[in-house]
Structure 1
Amino acid sequence: MEVLKYLIFEYGYFGIFIALVGGIIGLPVPDEVLLLSIGYYAYLGRVDLLTALISSYLGSIIGITISYLLGAKLGLPFLLKYGPKFRLSHTRISKAQQLFSKRGSWLLLIGYFIPGIRHIIGYLAGISRLNFKIFMIYSYIGAFFWVLFFVLSGYELGIRWYFIKQSFETYKFLIYFTVSGLIALAAIFFFFRRKGKKV
């Protein structure tokens, strides 16, 4: 947490931008905690809310675009070789590939909110040669809502943010599991609903 605080106050909006680029690419940056912190510091008046939102958004879309380009240029062997060094295990990559083959561009839209997917989905989109315009539309919209949700959550929580942050750190895996489960249930529901209409 102190590292994030130092990054924000020492390097300002550029620090926020770089941290989000690195986090999306796969560096060990706690993205959600960073965005919540940004919102909280905006609430305290230490950073400007709009500028912080723009910096966070630009960092997110530049990060996932770099991932896409690396995937398109270097392919799956690059991801398998260097992924584990950036918290992207072979198991996680394999699961993400399966999801991407089923959901494709829609996964770019919601992938930011799914643990383990945010850091891989850009690479997979590039590896599969997904049309760049489609990639931009879905991933950039997804990034917008992801950044907006977490930064504004940190801002709105205000004085209660410290206690929420502690709870988030303690129960983050439970939160991730719950959110992932809800998204999975929604996807299954719409899949069978669509399938039922075709019959």
Structure 2
Amino acid sequence: MTEFIIRLIEQGGYLGIFVLMVVENIFPPIPSELIMGMGGVAVSRGSMAFWPLLVVGTLGSTLGNYVWYLAGEKLGYRRLKPLIDRWGRWLTVDWEDVEKGTAFFQRHGHWIVFALRFSPLLRTIISLPAGLIHMPRAKFLAFTLVGTAVWNTGLILGGQWAAGFFETSQAVAEWVVGGMLAATLIAYVYRVVTWKPRV
């Protein structure tokens, strides 16, 4: 499975990475850790280069987050709530999550957009409150771009480091990658099945 995923990433090239990173930040359950980590393995093999991978991955992630920002900014509370109530199950978010995220954003200020780019669980959802609060667009994009670039750098370097391990311990690598995919999918399905809107 590991080899199959790496080949898919290599065949998709930089455009494929860009699209995956956009989608990963809009709709779960595609983990960026796997996308950019496997990209790092491809860099180690010489089929991709570090800087182009970092640039397209970061731009894709920033664009995906910007979609959430625009949703909050353009729709506002009144028009956004019915959409969350209707489609929240598939996004695994409800209106209470939005309200909590907005309160958290207001308590900690704009810098939290940068800080949460390093959080696997909260880095995307914080973009919605940023739009609802009308955080200055240039500041949002700058904080998102820089924070995402740092995060993706770590993922690519981690993938490069793990490449040697994948070559020498293929069986273990299959379990690790398969476990990541299975855990992500199971967590998403569980959230969808057990999701209940809180009123």
Give the shorter-chain TM-score range.
Answer: 0.7 to 0.9
Indicate the residue corresponding to 1:101 in structure 2: 106
CA distance, structure 1, for counterparts of residue 5 and residue 108 of structure 2: 34
Q: Percent identity?
A: 25
Contact 2:6 2:42 in 1 (8 A): no
Query: How many residue pairs are counted as aligned between the two chains?
Result: 173
Q: Is the 8 A contact 1:83 1:89 kept in 2?
A: yes
Q: Deviations over 1:85-133 (max 9, x none)?
A: 1233445434433322222322211212223312211111111111112
User: TM (normalized to structure 1)?
Assistant: 0.73
Match of 2:36 in 1: 35
Residue matched to 1:152? 157
For 1:70, the equivalent position in structure 2 comes to 71
> Is the partner of 2:54 in helix, strand or coil?
helix
- DSSP-derived class of the 1:105 partner: coil
Partners of 2:109 and 2:175 in 1: CA distance: 35
Give me the whole-angstrom Cα distance separating, in 1, the residues matched to 2:174 and 2:99.
31
Counterpart of 1:93, as a letter, is: V
- Structure 1 CA distance for aligned equivalents of residues 99 and 136 of structure 2: 22
Residue 84 (structure 1) aligned with residue 89 (structure 2): yes
RMSD (CA atoms)? 2.8
Q: Does 1:118 pair with 2:123?
A: yes
Contact conserved, 2:40 with 2:158, CA < 8 A, in 1?
Answer: yes
Checking the alignment, whether the CA contact within 8 Å between 1:36 and 1:151 is kept in structure 2 is: yes
* CA shift in 2, pair 1:29/1:95, >3 Å: same
List structure 1 segments (4+ residues) > 3 angstroms apart after TM superposition: 1-7, 78-81, 89-95, 161-173
Alpha-carbon separation, structure 1, partners of 2:174 and 2:57: 19
For 1:96 and 1:63, the matched residues in 2 are separated by 18
**Which residue of structure 1 aligns with residue 191 of structure 2?**
none
8 Å CA contact 2:84–2:94 kept in 1: the answer is no
3-state DSSP of counterpart to 2:135: coil
SS in 2 for 1:46: coil
Shift of 1:167: 4.7
Which has the bigger relative contact order, CA under 8 A and spacing at least 6? 2
Matched AA of 1:114: S
